[in-house]
A and B are shown apart, each in its own frame.
Chain A
Amino acid sequence: MRPILPIPVLLAWAVLLCGGTYVVTARSDAATAIDGPSQQDITALKERFRRPDGVPHPKANPATPEKVTLGKALFFDPRLSRSGSVSCAACHNPSLGWSDGLTRAVGFGMVLLPRRTPPVRNLAWGAAFQWDGRADSLEAQARMPITAPDEMNMSMDLVVERLKAVPGYAPLFREAFGGEEPISARNVTAALATFQRTLVSGKAPFDRWIEGEEVALGADARRGFALFTGKANCAACHSGWRFTDDSFHDIGLKAGDDLGRGKFAPPSVTAMRYAFKTPSLRDLRMQGPYMHDGQLGSLDAVIEHYVEGGERRPSLSFEMKPVALSAQERRDLTAFLESLAADPAALTLPHLP
């Protein structure tokens, strides 16, 4: 049978048709991409996620360069542990994003601890500390890993005794605090807290976009931001410039014996069972692991968990609801999270006295 039109004409027609279809599809993708918040909404959103200018320090423990210097030395000093071999930086290793990259932290005697090493950046703005929020200040928090039997396993008295035995620490404490007996447990934790408040995420591509550098964020990351603050509802908890509101939720992960914040709340507060602190999303180690106990090994697994909505149980957070995300949307969310990472700040390691 002879075609109505010559074959070359038919081929040209097919190419035009396919091309047209592609253009329409691409345009509708583009339309989807901008079918998020309006420009006015974006301006408001940008304000909500704009990083602050300064770093807050409490009136009771103001920052001084001398205190930061001392706090840094203490942070890296393994003599704060009973074995003399584990410093704060052993788990909060700056080369691994101030963490250890492990699924769960390793404690005293190489014992595996039940939780992952928590992130320590941007804690100057924190409202509650530790995965279960049992410390209400960085000063209170600083004492906890030092004195926990399964972590550094020290007493603060012994810490003070050891530091007094190191001649080089006396001038550091004197410059930082003055007074007759500046080497004290209180000053150790005050210096550590002050140093930790200086650990602030650097300026990420997302921050440059907030400031008006439109090209700092790719189209995929911008779509991811729209999803993050819209359909996926991540910003219900991962809000503000740190991408956390320090809230506590049971997000329906595989639960073991660890009740999290539930251990400190009355039993009637169902919502706190298996509830852990919402971590910041800045400077994520993209290779994982994730969650308070490292049970999710990849970002894909994390997104899949939120897509499914977590295990249904009475304590499951009200904010946890299944959400359908296409493969493209998942990639967009990942691109957005990548845009929250800054180049690591230069660090000079202290020479310990």
Chain B
Amino acid sequence: MTRNGRMALDPAFRRLAAVFSMSLAVLTTPASAEEFEVTIHHAELQEVTIKPRVGDTIRFVNQADIAHNLYLTYEDGQVETLDTQPPRTTKQVVLRRAGHVVVRCWIHPIIRMELDVADKAASQ
């Protein structure tokens, strides 16, 4: 015991415990989520075929010289809006629902991307 009453642990044991905790963290939920990147060029989204699942993240990288304001419409009509995205900035969204999702831009209606989000359990 130490002077303040805590049990003194062998340093080797502490290192082992730390590695175990980190491994546990890696093997649980956060690691199962993937991250996808979609680039915006002027008024179009880079054509990508992604197959995300609920909980995955999409990062939208604005490589255009103009600002955008993307929003996602889920199959049930729920809309998730990202904030105005000036050039050379990135916005990201965590996909919350399974089903068909349409990505559009409030500023540029010509921008459109459709994707299907799989249920989290379906692919685990």
Contact = CB atoms under 8 A, between A and B. Distances in A.
Contacts, number: 55
Contacts of B81: 265-266, 268-269
B84 A247 contact: no
Interface of A: 127-128, 133, 136, 236-237, 239, 245-249, 261, 265-266, 268-272, 275, 317-319
Interface string B60-103: 00000111010100000001010010100000000000000000
Question: Which 9 pairs show the lowest CB-CB distances between chains A and B?
Answer: A318-B67, A128-B109, A127-B110, A127-B109, A247-B108, A271-B84, A271-B69, A236-B66, A247-B107
Most chain A Cβ neighbours within 10 Å, of B66, B71, B110: B66
Nearest to B67: A318
B86 A318 contact: yes
Interface of B, secondary structure class, is: loop
A110 to B, nearest CB: 33
User: What is the predominant secondary structure among interface residues of chain A facing chain B?
Assistant: loop
Contacts of A246: 108-110
Nearest to B80: A266
B113 interface: no
A319 B66 contact: yes
Contacts of B67: 271, 317-319
Interface in B31-61: 42-43
A249 B106 CA distance: 10
Given A245-B108, A246-B109, A318-B84, 5 more contacts: A236-B66, A246-B110, A247-B108, A270-B84, A317-B67
Contacts of A261: 106
